[in-house]
Structure 1
Amino acid sequence: MDIYILIGLVVTALVVGFAFIKGDEPERLGSAAFVMVSLAGSLSTAGGMIIGPRWDLIGLDIVLLGVFVGLAWHTRRTWLVWASAFQSLIVTGHLLLLASIRPPSFAFAAVNNMANYGLLISIAVGTFWAWQERRAAGLER
């Protein structure tokens, strides 16, 4: 396993663990959806080459975008708007492939990876804010 994959897994585990321990319901739902889509995407058989549209990944990413937009619609959390924006970058990359606008595969992968780190940062910041709001209200030490 490559060191970059291990770093990504550790960062994901830390952020999701933080969200489940210190976050409220939107943070838990958003991080759970992120993990479920990530796991489902890694179980998808690909072979590593981006030759054509990957319908399974496109569907998963659209579902995750729907989860973030739906949570943003029903809650007053600003981190969900940022998470929706990062996820829409990923969906836009898929749409470029569908429209036969072939970006270089390394560019597609770079945007995808950076957007995923943006998602994790959004979840971590949102969890921190929710935790601090509870502490300020005296609901938690």
Structure 2
Amino acid sequence: FDTLYSQIGAVLIVCVCGFAFLVGDEAEKIGAGSYILAWFCTIVLQSDIGFYSNAPVLFFVDVVVLIVFCALSWKSANTWPAWAAALQLLPVLSHFLMAIDMRPPAWSFYAIQNLASLGILVAITAGTFWVWQERRAANFR
């Protein structure tokens, strides 16, 4: 949390996940919970020793979140988990680039991670909003 960018990102993550926990259904709560848990795990696992030394552990965290989003898209009637799974596939595939020794520049790897993360937050927000609106519309009938 040493930069303004990371602080803004933290506030955004907490707000989106809080919104999902407050007004979302079970799928939104599971998706937001897995996302925020993965975020905390990533913060704890990234230390001062550098990214490339602990990349297998971060790859595992990304794969687990991908599996959660795939399971949600399998069981949920909503479309946002499919979008979140597709966006989560981008960081997983970028780990494969590092695994086959095609080391991209660090800025491109972090750009993929950050843009996919932002897209997943948008998907969770949109899915939560639509579930919330459908629930409100059903209560007015």
TM-score of the pair, normalised by structure 1: 0.94
Aligned to 1:32: 33
Aligned to 1:64: 65
State, as a whole percentage, how many aligned pairs show the same letter: 38
Once the two structures are superposed, what CA deviation does each residue of 1:28-49 show, in whole Å capped at 9, x if it has no partner? 0000000111101111143263
Greater relative CO, 1 or 2 (CA 8 Å, sep 6+): 1
- Structure 2 Cα separation of the partners of residues 103 and 12 of structure 1: 27
| Structural mapping, 1:1-141, within 5 Å | 1-47=2-48, 49-51=50-52, 54-138=55-139
Where in structure 1 are there 5+ consecutive unaligned residues? none
Question: Which range is displaced more, 43-52 or 18-27?
Answer: 43-52
- Structure 2 Cα separation of the partners of residues 78 and 33 of structure 1: 17
Taking structure 1 as reference, are residues 128 and 65 closer, same or farther at Cα in structure 2, changes over 3 Å only?
A: same
Query: Tell me, what secondary structure is at the counterpart of 1:30?
Result: helix
Supply the AA of the counterpart residue of 1:89: L
TM-score of the pair, normalised by structure 2: 0.94
Give me the CA root mean square deviation: 1.6
Query: Tell me, what secondary structure is at the counterpart of 2:139?
Result: coil
